[in-house]
């Protein structure tokens, strides 16, 4: 049974990341010139702060040093969190994106939709589609099966909930 290096690394590192209260979101090994870079992306329902990232980075580094998972040769370990415009792949990603604006690519030529996630359940999403040109926002239900891709959008001018209620 042949497994890729990424799969072997995931098997080695995921229990350690989980023990730190985080989810292992992504592992990638890239070559940058003559150097290799191991990128590990972690997250949790409440996000990950710098102290957690530093702790998990030290733990992963120690685990990698005692194994031969990266083989011989130098490499750089980079541990971080998903970017601001993260791609939503897992159910937990959608749950973490509640109240965020998301750009959806719909299946079967359904086009594109930008909407705020209000609620997530096992079948799909309750959305608020922003109004255009002074119109009110509308509610929409979207099944997961209708979503081809979804990516969180960065908002620069959104009012904080506390500001709206004041």
**Residue 95: predicted pLDDT:** 93
**Residue 161: predicted pLDDT:** 52
Higher pLDDT, 160 or 41: 41
User: 49 φ, ψ to 5°?
Assistant: -90, 175
Nearest Cα residue to 25 out of 3, 53, 2: 53
pLDDT tens column, 44-57: 888 888 999 999 99
**Residue 158: predicted pLDDT:** 62
Long-range Cβ contacts of 30-34 (<8 Å, 24+ apart) = none
Of 3-7, 81-85, 112-116, 155-159, where does mean pLDDT reach its minimum? Answer: 155-159
Long-range Cβ contacts of 91-100 (<8 Å, 24+ apart) = 91/120, 91/122, 91/144, 92/23, 92/45, 94/120, 94/125, 94/150, 95/45, 95/120, 96/43, 96/45, 97/152, 99/161, 100/152, 100/153, 100/155
Over residues 16-32, mean pLDDT = 91
Looking at every residue in the chain, the average pLDDT score rounds to 87
**Residue 3: predicted pLDDT:** 66
Over residues 58-72, mean pLDDT = 89
User: Residue 110 and residue 72: Cα distance in Å, rounded?
Assistant: 48
Nearest Cα residue to 150 out of 65, 93, 66, 69: 93
pTM over 0.85: no
- pLDDT at residue 143 is higher than 60: yes
- pLDDT at residue 1 is higher than 50: no
pLDDT bracket for residue 163 (50, 70, 90): very low
């Amino acid at each position: 049974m042949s497994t890729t290096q990424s799969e072997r690394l995931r098997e080695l590192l995921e229990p350690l990341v989980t023990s730190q209260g985080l989810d292992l979101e992504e592992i990638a090994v890239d070559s940058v010139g003559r150097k290799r870079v191991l990128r590990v992306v972690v997250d949790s329902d409440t996000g990950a702060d710098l102290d957690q990232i530093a702790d998990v980075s030290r733990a992963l580094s120690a685990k990698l040093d005692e194994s031969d998972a990266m083989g011989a040769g130098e490499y750089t370990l980079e541990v971080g969190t998903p970017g601001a415009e993260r791609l939503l792949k897992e159910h937990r990603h959608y749950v973490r994106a509640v109240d965020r604006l998301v750009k959806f690519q719909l299946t079967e030529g359904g086009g594109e939709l930008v909407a705020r996630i209000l609620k997530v359940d096992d079948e799909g999403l309750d959305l608020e589609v922003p109004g255009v040109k002074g119109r009110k926002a509308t509610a929409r239900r979207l099944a997961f099966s209708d979503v081809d891709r979804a990516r969180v959008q960065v908002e620069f001018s959104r009012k904080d909930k506390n500001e709206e209620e004041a």
